[in-house]
């Protein structure tokens, strides 16, 4: 269902810009775990949401995530040629189209989210959700984290800086997903804040698990080149603390997220299983 929703909101025929549309859709449909729209949907359901207003936001968050990967893979940043077992967008369509595809996906994400105003929903809640989406994607969210990550490449990084990078680069969009699900379902401000904290814990755990897999996995299993952190001279949780301590931190953050879930009403069984899968994932 999530895959169908994402596909339904992608751009159709684009006339002379058809090549750009093709690159955009390729970037979004090249696979992925759909972690963010899944968290958004299940949070919406946790608080009693049942309408379709969540759908354009589910598509929008995946577009934003995909654009970030398209730009992350560019030669100016990570210079990766493989993503999810397929050529990266810039490698397949050219560097210029890769830049434009990312730009267009970010812009189209907000065009898509704005479609929620046309649905039978509280316009104030939709506006608040769009504001959260923008904040968590921008300088105070994912883009800010990506900038600091590139700025400190090849330099000594403190643990405080590393957590700042991880919180924004990876945590922000997971926070965003859960917050938007809660907002659109009419949750209280206190519950929305709890969802934000759960999303942050999951984001940190997710990124540290990525650090681990970059060391212990294979290109085939991970779907992208392993060892890229070392090649790009990036400090990670693993380089500071080692593999064992990194996995212990993933477990600690996952446990903390489960504890926060216990503060919410409703059946959170899905989230317990979901956290376990993220904690032990292999790709």
pLDDT per residue, tens digit, the chain (283 aa), is 999 999 999 999 989 999 999 999 999 998 889 999 999 999 999 999 999 999 999 999 999 999 999 999 999 998 999 998 899 999 999 999 999 999 999 999 999 999 999 998 899 999 999 999 999 999 999 999 999 999 998 898 999 999 999 999 999 999 999 999 999 999 999 999 999 999 999 999 999 999 999 999 877 777 767 787 877 788 999 999 999 999 999 999 999 999 999 999 988 889 999 999 988 888 8
pLDDT in tens, 60-73: 999 999 999 999 99
CATH number of the domain within which 143 lies:
1.10.600.10
Number of compact structural domains in the chain:
1
Q: What pLDDT does residue 47 have?
A: 97
Q: Work out whether strand 86-87 and strand 82-83 pair parallel, antiparallel, or are unpaired.
A: antiparallel
Q: What pLDDT does residue 119 have?
A: 95
- Phi, psi for residue 194 in degrees, rounded to 5: -60, -40
Domain that holds residue 151: 2-280
Q: What's the angle, vertex CA 95, arms to CA 139 and CA 64, rounded to 5?
A: 35
Q: What pLDDT does residue 184 have?
A: 98
Note the pTM of the prediction, 2 decimals: 0.94
Q: What pLDDT does residue 266 have?
A: 87
Count CB-CB contacts under 10 A for residue 220.
9
d(CA 101, CA 90): 9
DSSP 65-134: HHHHHHHHTSTTTT---EETTEE-HHHHH-HHHHHHHHHHHHHHHHHHHGGGGGSSS-HHHHHHHHHHHH
Q: What's the angle, vertex CA 154, arms to CA 151 and CA 159, rounded to 5?
A: 75
Q: Tell me, what DSSP letter sits at residue 171?
A: I
What is the distance between the terminal CA atoms of the chain, rounded to a whole angstrom?
22
């Amino acid at each position: 269902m999530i895959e169908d929703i994402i596909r339904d909101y992608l751009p159709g025929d684009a006339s002379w810009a058809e090549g750009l549309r093709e690159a955009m859709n390729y970037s979004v449909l090249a696979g992925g775990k759909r972690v963010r729209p899944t968290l958004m949907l299940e949070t919406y359901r946790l608080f009693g949401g049942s309408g379709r207003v969540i759908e354009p936001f589910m598509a929008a968050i995946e577009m934003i995530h995909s654009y970030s990967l398209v730009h992350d893979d560019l030669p100016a940043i990570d210079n990766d040629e493989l993503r999810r077992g397929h050529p990266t967008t810039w490698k397949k369509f050219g560097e210029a189209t890769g830049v434009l595809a990312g730009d267009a996906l970010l812009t189209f994400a907000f065009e898509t989210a704005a479609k929620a105003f046309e649905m039978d929903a509280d316009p104030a809640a939709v506006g608040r959700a769009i504001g959260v989406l923008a904040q968590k994607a921008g300088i105070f969210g994912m883009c800010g984290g990506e900038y600091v990550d590139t700025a400190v490449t090849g330099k000594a990084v403190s643990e405080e800086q590393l957590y700042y990078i991880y919180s924004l680069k990876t945590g922000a969009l997971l926070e965003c997903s859960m917050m938007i699900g809660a907002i659109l379902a009419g949750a209280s401000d206190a519950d929305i804040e709890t969802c934000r904290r759960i999303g942050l814990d999951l984001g940190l755990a997710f990124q540290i698990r990525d650090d681990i897999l970059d060391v212990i996995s294979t290109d085939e299993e991970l779907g992208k080149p392993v060892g890229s952190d070392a090649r790009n001279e990036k400090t990670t949780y693993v380089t500071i603390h080692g593999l064992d301590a990194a996995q212990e931190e993933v477990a600690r953050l996952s446990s903390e997220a489960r504890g926060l879930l216990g503060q919410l009403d409703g059946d959170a069984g899905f989230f317990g299983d979901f956290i376990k899968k993220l904690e032990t994932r292999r790709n």
